[in-house]
Structure 1
Amino acid sequence: MIEKVGLLNSGLQDMTAMAWNLYCNWELVGQPSQDDPTLTLIQEFKEAFSRKDVTVHFMGLWDTINSVGIFRDKLFPYTTSSAIVKHVRHAVSIDERRAKFKQLLFAPYSYYPCLFSLNCTSCDEEEEEARSLFTSHNMDAGSFLGSLLLGNTKVHRVPCDSEDIVELFFPGNHGDCGGGWPVDLDGQYLSDIPLRWMLSQAIKFGVIFKTNAIHEFNDKHPVSKSLLSCHHDILSLKRERPIYTQLILTNGLPRSPVCRFDSRGDEYLYYTLFWWLIELLPIGYKVENKEGQWRNVYVPNLGRPRKIPRNSSFHWSVFYRMHYVKDYCPSNIPLDLIGPKYLESIDDFKKCYKGIDVEEYARKLTAEEIKNDWKNKIWRIIPDELQLLLEKD
């Protein structure tokens, strides 16, 4: 919106609502890129009331999602594209399952939802799956069923021109990634893990924080405790509580796996049933084909996990949590790429693993090996970005 409408000049705060309405109207007519009344009005508004050449130096995001409507996706696809943001950092949840919380990625990615497969597939496989189900091969778009399942929305999608974009997948659901769940019995949050990463990235690009604020945060929420915080699933019908026992610790880490699944937390069952009702309805998704055309597809989600592109990057905490937390077993990560993805996640921390051949270890790494290997000292070394910055300070 800032790129299109501009940043209002000082003293014009009362015109914020008008700027928003202009932008909404431009989005709703399909982001016209040629002469159009909505575009012309936006340009005139920007020229008259907004600052010129605004640049956003750093933008940190937590688990941006595909839709905000209940029965129909009201996504603004252009919001994933911006040429005025220099550095983008996006923390994405692996374990969110709700239909209304599908991830919205910056990286090039086919937005066809995972309809019947729980596995991670390539974009091409994804598209073929969606085509076989919802295109003219199997149904006439003019038929009743076709009109019900296929929308006619076609949107011009502009490639994202930001200079530097990093998206990492983190353990936990939407609230575990971006915050929102209450503290666990140890007074910690799993969402502090992506927060630590985001703080380290912000510091790297010159964002200034209150004196000692980062040190105080690090002391109050050490990485080892945040890593072992509870994860949740609001769609969990069975009430499960994490098991807290007296642990034998080495460097703040347990010597045996712990249980940290807190299912739906303290939410009432009727709240979960409401979300399951949404899961059973044919919710609308915005999907994009190879030609860059968007349309609405209506299909029940049925509690399926998110589809993760094979070219995605994972934060190191995903693998460390799989190791230390017995009941953390994500089903949608690319199991055949465990080793390469793990190695990629610790690429900036190889100096921390002196005397350990991490490349050789990663070459043979599997999900089962992560769970069962309690002898290798590699799992005693936490490659925390924020801690490294504070040690240099």
Structure 2
Amino acid sequence: MSTPSSSQGATGGKRDREGNGDKIPNRLVLCFDGTGNQFWGTPLDTNIVKLYQMCDRGSKKQYHYYQPGIGTYSVSESSLNTGFLGSIYRGILRLLDEGFANTFDHHVIAGYKFLMRYYKPGDKIYIFGFSRGAFTARFLARMITKIGLLSRGNEEMVPFAYRAYQDYESQASGDEAVEFMETFRDTFCRQKVGIHFLGLFDCVNSVAALEVPWPFLRKQPRLHAHPPAATHIRHAVSIDERRLKFKPALFCQDDDNATDHSNSNTQTNIREVYFAGNHGDVGGGWAATADGGIQLSDIALEWMLQELEDLPDPQEEKLAFESDRKKAFLEKFKQHRATAIKDSICHDALAWNKGWGWPSVMGWWVFELIPIFKRLELEGDKWVDTYWPPNRGQPRDIPACSELHSSVRERATVLGSKYRPQNSGLPKDLTLTGSDD
């Protein structure tokens, strides 16, 4: 059974710095992997694992938490050795969880308990996630920001806090849910616990527990716009993912407003940047390239690392990395970047010979042709719930507020007609961003 792991004070490699001194705040780092993803110890590892590997786990001022993705372990398992029938039953539970995210609450609560255990006033919280793990990270960040953080030792109250916040987000009871959540917060929780950095790789929100339970009525869960989830928000988004069940959960959807990321809290800054490739080409999880170079997903990882480095924090308060690991990645990235942009395949679950076998391709097309789930489509400058006509493998809508990473334009220039994104609403004047290597 894979289980979440946490570490602090472990022996590490060379460090960017030693976080000594009581005046320097602790840094709490939480990493939530994507659906079906876990540590493999191979290039199949996602960007979440790679980030965790680079973190300086020997720093005395930094605490770390890693959680395998939804569908990788059964939360009800009491033993690793379950026998033949137990293994079959466990496999069925994992398969159902991978499809419907039935254990979403457990994943949120586990991260919440980590913060209960280690958080002290003034600490800086960093949360990273990929896929449904990104939605877990985002939900957790908003839950803490809105309802607060229970004190250590009060673990029995965590399920009640979760239900209170979930009812608030789902708007199940209207003003009554809001009043109950606020009373719960004022009675039990530490307030003004802020999230310093929220880093997401292609956040998707396919969580059955947060959807209306009937076909044709199901809709994508949409989070309230305020308060902001974190001081700094960075979201790497896939341009080329087409699957209905992998529609992105964008921050500009929170307010039904697709035109900007403005927020009443001027201390918050949000960047949602689009990258070439499908869901896994942004968050990772694909096999290594034949030449041993970098993967398309490494482009988004390098961008995230640069965004962390560019934060306006004192150097001694920045996220601490093992300098050898980070340096090795960046050197390899610089060496192979141009090749990756030109030669890396854009995987596609809805096309033949693009990374999936024919049974998987046919299975994904079932969701595309049958209007089982509502989805958000961009109409003008508004996001609208729709289920008809079916998705039929249509590209994602890209709102005008979006940024296009410079590697996308480079790929289009090098490949010419072989790479021309056909996304609806793709503005001609998209802002280019990224490092000039």
TM band (smaller chain)? 0.5 to 0.7
Asked whether 1:209 is paired with 2:299, we answer no
Q: Distance in 2 between matches of 1:297 and 1:160?
A: 32
The CA deviation at 1:16 is 2.9
Distance of 1:318 and 1:57 partners within structure 2: 29
Q: How does 1:181-192 map to 2 (within 5 A)?
A: 181-187=286-292, 188-192=294-298
What are the residue-to-residue correspondences of 1:51-200 with 2, within 5 Å? 51-69=190-208, 71=215, 73=218, 75-78=220-223, 81-83=226-228, 85-107=230-252, 161=265, 163-187=268-292, 188-200=294-306
Contact residue 88 and residue 165 of structure 1 kept, 8 A:
yes
CA-to-aligned-CA distance 1:111-164 (integer Å, 9 cap, x gap):
69xxxxxxxxx98xxxxxxxxxxxxxxxxxxxxxxxxxxxxxxxxxx9674621
Q: Tell me, in whole angstroms, the C-alpha distance in 1 between the residues paired with 2:264 and 2:368.
A: 31
Aligned to 2:432: 345
TM-score norm. by structure 1 comes to 0.61
RMSD: 3.4
Greater Cα offset, 186-195 or 280-289:
280-289
CA contact (8 A) 1:110 1:289 kept: no
Shift of 1:302: 0.5
Q: In the alignment, what sits opposite 1:7? A: 149
- Corresponding position of 2:400: 310
Alignment check: 8 A CA contact 1:97 1:305 kept: yes
Q: Is the 8 A contact 1:6 1:54 kept in 2?
A: yes
CA distance in 2, matches of 1:103, 1:8: 31
Task: Name which one, 1 or 2, has greater alpha-carbon Rg.
Answer: 1
Q: Greater RCO between the two (CA within 8 Å, min separation 6)?
A: 1
State the one-letter code of the partner of 1:211.
E
Among residues 257, 272, 275, which one is paired with 2:361 in the alignment? Answer: 272
1:26 aligns with 2:168: yes
> Residue 419 of structure 2 aligns with which residue?
328
Q: Using the alignment, how far apart are the partners of 1:88 and 1:40 within structure 2?
A: 28
Give the deviation of 1:66 after TM superposition.
4.8
2:387 and 2:223 mapped to 1: Cα distance?
A: 19
Deviation at 1:73, TM superposition (A): 4.1
> 1:273 deviation in Å?
0.7
- CA gap of 1:79–1:12, structure 2 versus 1, over 3 A, is farther
TM-score, normalised with respect to structure 2: 0.55
The percent identity for this pair of structures is: 33
Show the counterpart of 2:38: none
Tell me how far apart the structure 2 counterparts of residues 160 and 182 of structure 1 sit (CA, whole Å). 43
Are the structure 2 counterparts of residues 44 and 90 from structure 1 closer, same or farther at C-alpha, using a change threshold of 3 Å? same
Alpha-carbon deviation of 1:196? 0.7
- Does residue 285 (structure 1) correspond to residue 375 (structure 2)? The answer is yes
Deviation at 1:58, TM superposition (A): 1.4
